[in-house]
Amino acid sequence: MNIQKLVEQWIEVSNDYDIEKYLNQYHKNAVLDDPSVGRSFKMHEGIREYFENYFIDYKTQTSLVDIKVDDNKAYLKVEFTGDFPGNKIGGVFDITFKDDKISHIKADLL
pTM of the model: 0.95
Q: How far is Cα of residue 31 from the mean position of the Cα atoms in its chain?
A: 11
CA atoms within 13 A on the CB side of 66: 6
How much of the chain, in percent, has pLDDT values that exceed 90? 99
How much of the chain, in percent, has pLDDT values that exceed 70? 100
CB 62 within 8 A of CB 11: yes
First to last CA, the chain: 29
CB 94 within 8 A of CB 2: no
pLDDT at 8: 97
Residue-wise pLDDT for 1-53, tens only, equals 899 999 999 999 999 999 999 999 999 999 999 999 999 999 999 999 999 99
Q: What domains lie within the chain, and their CATH numbers?
A: 3-109 (3.10.450.50)
Q: Which amino acid is at 92?
A: V
pLDDT at 11: 98
pLDDT at 77: 98
pLDDT at 92: 98
